[in-house]
Amino acid sequence: MSVATAELDGALAALRKEEVNVALPGLALAYALLVALFVSPAFFHTPWIFALVWVPLGILQYRVVISGHEAVHKTLCFPLWLNELLGVFGQALVGVNFAAYRLQHLDHHRARTLEEDPDGHIYGGIIKTPRGARRIAVWTLGTLVEILVKIRQKGTGGYGTLREQRPDEVRQRRMHTLYVILAQLTIMASAAAVLSQNLGVALVPTSFALAPLAQTAALLVGGYALLWTGPLFTVAVFLNRSRILIEHGLALLINDESPGAISGPRIPTVDIVPNVIERVIFSPFLFNYHCCHHLYMTVPHYNLPKVRALCRAHGVKGYHEVQGSYLSALRRAMSA
């Protein structure tokens, strides 16, 4: 082992050992804002409030989604029991089976090709489509197909992992499916209550006549769509789709342009160094250092900037960085 390699390994080992709860304040703020936006229509009796909170709700839901990724790697927070609790809780809120997500996501890290990647359905169809308008259409309109796959893959769980699951993993996955169902029923009932307050109508019918029952059903479905699944499916899923397209789809396109440009034993990925606004929207928990994460996935997210510096200093094989913003990377992904 060379001196440089020993120095790199030692630095990475030190970064892995650091356990700092830097994510908790921001995550607590995100949940507080999410609740505030969710209940705000109960206090502002205008239909426009739903349009005003739609995008902010989706951005905050996306942050909860990404927090689950950190929890999967057991680096969201410490001690481990708190990491697991927040992982299960947060993912149940966004309809994700945490146990199934962990199995599927670790397979994503092991994937060597697009075909092996459980997340390949997100970006594979986009980059295989001819560049220009057709690729843009698949990127934007393909969100519906992605949602259907995700419901099967991460909602009910099990689909997407490459290996046979152990009995204890199956039991845990089934338990987490129950948590997802309970969380969604709670959200649906809460959203219906908020919508009923906004409209000034009764949520619970005073009799079992058809009209009151239909009104309750409309409040349940309408509130759930306006305050949860609507923002989740249009904003949160689309942000996640766009991010993955850049991190893995653009990486494959760059490799096709110049074979060997992005090398390594696993499916290629890239780092992005965006501006502050894009970092807040696209890459909570320093997700923009995604190449660093794939190279050294046991390093906590808050140390990834230091990993980037080490990769650049030591010329680590497989490290690649795309210059410019997320928006410029998206434009490149549409035209490459």
Per-residue pLDDT, 94: 96
- Which two structure tokens, joined as six digits, stand for 312? 């650049």
DSSP state of 322: E
Q: What percent of the chain has pLDDT over 90?
A: 66
- Candidates 60, 82, 58; CA nearest to 70 is 82
CA dist 196 and 41 (Å) reads 9
Q: Where are the alpha helices (DSSP H) in 94-234?
A: 98-110, 120-128, 133-141, 143-150, 167-199, 210-224, 230-231
Q: Are 309 and 292 in contact (CB under 8 A)?
A: no
pLDDT in tens, 159-192: 555 566 777 777 888 899 999 999 999 999 999 9
Q: What is the pLDDT of residues 7-43, one digit of tens each?
A: 898 999 999 999 999 999 999 999 999 999 999 999 9
The answer to whether residue 4 scores a pLDDT higher than 70 is no
